[in-house]
Structure 1
C-alpha cells in the first residue's frame, strides 16, 4: 500500500483503517529520511538566524576572525544535530513505549504511525521560526500555546516553559495518538488517555527543564 502523509493527516480514521489491514507500505523509508532532513533543516535554520544563541551571543561578540567563524559553525552544526536527534527520539521512543505496553502491533508499524505526530511537531518548530522573525515572539510566548496566559499570572520560569509547551500542535498530536492507540490496542478509552497524558506530560516537563538550563554557563563555568 502506498503511504500518503498529507492524506493521512487530514483523514486519520481512513488511514488507520487501511493501516491495520496493510502488510507493507511503499516509500516508508523515503518519508523517514525526509523527516530527518526536514528536522535538520528547520533546526539548522534556527541556528542560522540565532535562535537559541541568547546565552552564547555575549561570547560571540568578543571573538574575531577565524575563531568567531568556527564558533558560529559549531553552533550551527550543533543545531542540525539537535534537529536530527529531535526527530529520532520522537520517532522511536514513543513507538518503543507503545510496543512494550501493548504488543498488539509490530514495532515497525508503530513507527509508521508515529511519522504523523513527528511531522506535526516539525510544523510547530517552523511556526516558532516564523513567529520570531515576524513578531519577535519566543516559542514559550506563542499565541498558539498556554505560555502567553501563564506569563500574566506566573513568574516561575519552569511553569511558564511547561505551559508554553502545550500548544494547538501538541493537542493535534495527542488527538492523533489517541486515534492510533485506540486502533491498535484493546484498551478502554480512559486507559489510552492516561497513557497519552503521561507520555506528553513527561515530554513537556523535559522541555521545560532543558529550557531553564543555561548550558553555556555549565560548559564555561
Structure 2
C-alpha cells in the first residue's frame, strides 16, 4: 500500500508533503485522483459553458439565430465545454509531466502527483472566475486575478494585453508550488529547476496570448 498524496494538504503544506512524497517508494490512488480531477474539470467547465462564458466571440451571431437554433447552440457549446474541461485536465496532468520527466531525475508518478495539485489550483481559479463574469461581466482580459487590467491601462497592443492576461496570481501560485516540490524531489540544481519552470510558464503564457488574438468569430 503506497502513499496517497492529499491535494488540500499538498497546497497548504508543500514542504511537509514534498518530503513525504520523496521518501515513499510508491504512491497509491493516482488513477482515482486523476479521474476525480477530470470529472471535476468537466463539471466546472460545464457550469462555465452553461452561463455562456467563452462564447463572447460569437455572441453577435447568436442574435440572428432562431430560438430553436439558439437553444441547440447553447447545448452544443455546453457539451463542448465539458469535453474541453476533460481534455484540459489531462493535458495539464500529463503533458508537462512528460516534459519535466525528461529534465529532472524524478519518478514519473511523483511528477504526476505534483501536477494533480497544479490542476487543482487551475480549477479553483476557473471556479472563482465564474461569479465575477456573471455579476460583473469580467472576462479573461479583465480578470481581477490577472495582470490584464494593468496592461490595458498601459498599452493598447492587443497581444501584450492578452499576454499579461495569461499571467495570473494562480499561475504564479502553481509556479511556486512546482518549484517547492521539485526542489525537494529532484537532485538537480535549484537554479536549473527555476529556469526550467520559468521557461515553460512563459511558453504557456505566450501560446495562450497568441491563441487569444485569433479572431475565431471570423472563422466560424
TM superposition score normalised by structure 2: 0.93
User: Which consecutive aligned stretches of 4+ in structure 1 deviate over 6 angstroms post-superposition?
Assistant: none
1:128 aligns with 2:129: yes
Give me the whole-angstrom Cα distance separating, in 1, the residues matched to 2:18 and 2:170: 20
Match of 1:33 in 2: 35
RMSD, aligned α-carbons: 1.5
Superposition deviation, residue 191 in structure 1: 1.3
Superposition deviation, residue 26 in structure 1: 3.3
Match of 2:138 in 1: 137
Cα deviation, 1:151-200, whole Å, max 9, x if unaligned, reads 11111111111111212111110101111221232222221111001000
Cα deviation, 1:7-34, whole Å, max 9, x if unaligned, reads 1110001111110111333332222111
Match of 1:181 in 2: 182
2:44 corresponds, among 24, 42, 45, to 42
Give me the whole-angstrom Cα distance separating, in 2, the residues matched to 1:147 and 1:11: 30
Superposition deviation, residue 78 in structure 1: 1.2
Superposition deviation, residue 60 in structure 1: 2.0
Match of 1:208 in 2: 209
2:69 corresponds, among 67, 70, 92, to 67
Segments of 5+ residues of structure 2 without an aligned counterpart are: none
Conserved? CA contact 2:5–2:21, under 8 Å: no
Give me the whole-angstrom Cα distance separating, in 2, the residues matched to 1:138 and 1:174: 23
Superposition deviation, residue 65 in structure 1: 4.4
Aligned length: 218
1:54 aligns with 2:56: yes
Match of 2:90 in 1: 88
SS of 2:57's equivalent in the other structure is: coil
Cα deviation, 1:57-87, whole Å, max 9, x if unaligned, reads 2222222244332222211111111111111
Match of 1:18 in 2: 20
Between 156-165 and 54-63, report the one with greater CA deviation: 54-63
SS of 2:219's equivalent in the other structure is: helix
Cα deviation, 1:113-162, whole Å, max 9, x if unaligned, reads 11011110111111211211232211221222211111111111111111
Give me the whole-angstrom Cα distance separating, in 2, the residues matched to 1:163 and 1:65: 38
Give me the whole-angstrom Cα distance separating, in 2, the residues matched to 1:155 and 1:202: 22
Cα deviation, 1:20-58, whole Å, max 9, x if unaligned, reads 111333332222111111111111111111111112222
Segments of 5+ residues of structure 1 without an aligned counterpart are: none
TM superposition score normalised by structure 1: 0.92
